[in-house]
Structure 1
Amino acid sequence: MTDTFARLIRTPQGLAGLVLILLLVLVVLFGPSIAPVNPEKMDFMGRFAKPGAAHWLGGDQLGRDVFSRILTGARTTIPMAVGATLAGTLAGALLGTLSAYLGGRADEFIMRTVDAVMAIPGLLLALLVVSTLGKGDLNAMLAIAVAFAPGMTRITRSVALTARRMDYVNAAVARGESGAWIVFREMLPNVTAPVVVESTIRVAFAIMLFATLSFLGLGAQPPASDWGLMISDARVYLHQAPWMIIAPGAAIAVAAIGFNLLGDGLRDAMNPRNET
């Protein structure tokens, strides 16, 4: 773990991604505390206020401080995206490893079902799930997890097939260990590296997907300071107050870039061929 971290910070993309993610974590933890004003405080005299000393990123259509809403909205957008990715990764990793262990008809059935689900675009699948479950940030998180699980299943299975042929798995089978023991104790720990890298990169897509669902009115609901919801509210006033849409859009971009860079850095750091 120490060697992996050392290799991570030696790569430019890994170091840049780590710095961005640490900043995002600080914003998530302390954003509401350091916000200059209450993000829900309305000031009709400050409607569409331009960025300046009073409002660093300007004011919105209700006179609310955009900068404060960005800081507060991070606590909704980022944890929801991370939670959705973790849930989808866990489900996909378990199913992919189980499929590789079982093999035969069970593997064929599982993977053909996964292929059928993967034929549906991720956004469309998420829309179908959240439309069925109803509006709300928790339902949106679940929808994103469902959309991510099939891809993670296929990635995990491809790695688990190699692990299934390893001597330590054959030894566990010869000892008479149960299938659950082999899957959880022998195979899963040895497929984590590519799964961790892929899940880190997928957080960036989860952030954009969650923002998209909120933009469409299916994710976070007013008066939440969600970044996607802020863009949805601001699109009507694009020509009148462009900062209202630029600020949350830039926040989403920075978060996505940070997780992408961190994923690229982890991919290089966890590749044994990159050791010097």
Structure 2
Amino acid sequence: MTDLLRRLLRTPQGAIGSALLLLLLLLCIAGPALAPRDPEAIDFLGRFRPPGAENWLGADQLGRDVLSRLMTGARATIPLALLATLLGTLAGAVIGTLSAYLGGRWDEAIMRNIDAVMAIPGLLLALLLVSSLGKGSLNATLAIAVAFTPGMARVTRSVALNVRAQDYVKAALARGEGSLFIVLREMLPNVVGPVVVETTIRVAFAVMLFATMSFLGLGAQPPAPEWGLMVAEARRFVHQAPWIILAPALAIAVTAIAFNLLGDGLRDALNPRDER
């Protein structure tokens, strides 16, 4: 683990991505405590106040401090995106590994169903699921997890097919181990590397999907300081007070960039050929 971290930080993208993620982690943990003002405090006399000493990033249409809402909203955006990605990754990894292990007709049947689901764009599938389940952050999390599952299953299967031919899997079969044991204990841990890289990249998409659903009114609901919802509420006032929409939009962009950079860094760090 120490060697992996050293190789990760040795790459520019890994170092920058890790630094940005540490900052985002700090916001998730201590953002509400560090916020200079109450993110829900309404001040009609301060509506559309431009950035300055009183409000560093300005005030929104209700006079609420944009910086405080931004710092508090990190806790409402990033952990849910991580949870959705982890749920989708876990489900997809199990399905993909099981499909590679079973092979034959079972593999064909599972993968054709996965292909059928993948034919639906991820955003459209997530929107359909949220529309069926109802509005809310939890339902949006489940919808994104389901939308990510087919792609993760396809990625995992491609790696697990190589693992299936390894000697330790054949040894487990010779010992008479059950299918569930082989899939969970022998194959799944050995497909972690590529899956982790894919997961970090998909977190960026999850953040943007959450923002999109909140923008459309299907995710977080007012007055939650969720970044996508902040963008949706500010779009009517973009010409009057552009700082209201720029701050959360930049936060979403920086978060997506951070996870993409981390994914690139992990890809290089997990590649033995890059050790030299």
The answer to whether TM tops 0.5 is yes
Q: CA RMSD in A?
A: 0.4
Q: Does 1:136 align with 2:123?
A: no
- Establish whether residue 34 from structure 1 lines up as the match of residue 31 from structure 2: no
Q: Is 1:261 paired with 2:261?
A: yes
SS of the equivalent of 2:58 reads: coil
Secondary structure at the aligned position of 1:191 is classed as: helix
- State the 4+ residue runs in structure 1 displaced beyond 2 angstroms: none
TM-score, reference length from structure 2:
1.00
Aligned to 2:84: 84
Find the counterpart in structure 1 of residue 14 from structure 2. Answer: 14
Unaligned runs of 5+ in 1: none
The aligned length equals 276
Please name the residue that 2:247 is paired with. Answer: 247
Q: Which position in structure 2 is the counterpart of 1:123?
A: 123
Paired letter, 1:227 = W
Which residues of 2 match residues 52-131 of structure 1 at below 5 A? 52-131=52-131
Query: How does 1:147-166 map onto structure 2 within 5 Å?
Result: 147-166=147-166
Amino acid in structure 1 at the alignment position of 2:32: P
For residues 46-102 of structure 1, what are the alpha-carbon distances to aligned partners after superposition, in whole Å with 9 as ceiling and x for unaligned? Answer: 000000000011000000000000000000100010000000000000000000000
Residue 208 (structure 1) shift: 0.3
CA distance in structure 1 between the aligned counterparts of 2:106 and 2:220, rounded to whole angstroms: 39
Q: Counterpart of 2:170 in structure 1: which amino acid?
A: N
Post-superposition CA distance 1:205-232 (Å, at most 9, x none):
0000000000000000011000000000
- Residue 216 of structure 1 corresponds to 216
Q: Which residue in the other structure is 2:228 paired with? A: 228
How many angstroms apart in 1 are the aligned matches of 2:62 and 2:222?
Answer: 13
Aligned amino acid, residue 23 of structure 1: L
Hey, what's the Cα distance between the residues in 2 that align with 1:56 and 1:142?
36
Which amino acid in 2 is paired with 1:28? C
Give the deviation of 1:134 after TM superposition: 0.2
Deviation at 1:275, TM superposition (A): 1.0
What CA deviation, in whole Å up to 9, does each residue of 1:87-124 have, x standing for no partner? 00000000000000001111101000000000000000
Which AA in structure 1 matches 2:72?
Answer: T
The within-5 A match list for 1:190-205 is 190-205=190-205
Superposition pairs of residues 168-179 of structure 1, within 5 angstroms: 168-179=168-179
Percentage of identical aligned residues: 71
| TM-superposed deviation, 1:3 | 1.2
